[in-house]
Amino acid sequence: MTGFRITDGIDRGTAFQFTCDGESVTAYPGESIAAALMAAGKRQTRVTARRQMPRGLYCGMGVCWECIMIVNGKPAVRACMTPAEPGMKVETQHGVGDPA
């Protein structure tokens, strides 16, 4: 496991689950998709269109668009700017995110 949550001093409320590429991921109310995934050790969010390179969170502030994923079927959603929700279906985005 690589990433982690700092727990000292913070009560995050009640955890819930969403899925990423079919696997269950834990998140807390208001937590961004990217933060929840990184706390679960998953850092690759997309694979680029032209060279099939892996990418992940880079700017962390919504301006680089490297963290885009397919969320509930909608492509190009920024994982760093979007709160996770219970039952959400998140997928790694390949290229522009056309359905496979």
Partner 1 sequence: MRETDLLVVGAGAAGLSAASEAAKHGLAVTVLDDNLLPGGQYFRRLPTGYHHTHETVFDKERQRANALYATTGQKGITYLNDAVVWESPENGVLAFARGADSGRIRAKLTIIASGAHDRPAPFPGWTLPGVVTAGGLQNLLKGQRVIPGRRAIVAGNGPLVLLVGATLARAGAELREVVEAAPILKRLAGSIADLIAMPKIVRQAVDYRLAIMKSGARLRTGWTVIEARGADELEEVVLAPIDATGKVDRSRARAVKADLLVVGFGLMPSIELVRLLDCKLEWKPLRGGWVPVRGADFETSRPGVLAVGDGAGIGGVEMALREGKLAGVIAAERLGKLSRDQAANLKAPIQAEIAKVETFRRGLERLYAMPPAFLDLLTPETIVCRCEDVTAGELRARQDAGFGSTAALKGTTRTTMGRCQGRNCLRTLSALIAQASGQPIEQVTMPRPRLPARLVTIGDLLQEELPPIEMPKDPHLPRGERVS
Residues making contact with ligand FAD (CB under 6 A): 60-61
Residues 7-66 touching partner 1, rule: CB under 8 A, are 7-13, 28-32, 35, 38-39, 43-45, 48-51, 53-66
Does 75 bind partner 1 (CB under 8 A)? Our answer is no
One DSSP character per residue, 52-91 reads --EE---SSSSSS-TTEEEETTEEEEETTTSB--TT-EEE
Binding-residue total with ligand FES (CB under 6 A)? 12
Distance CA 54, CA 99 (A): 18
The residues of the shown chain that bind ligand FES, judged by CB under 6 A, are 57-60, 62-67, 78, 80
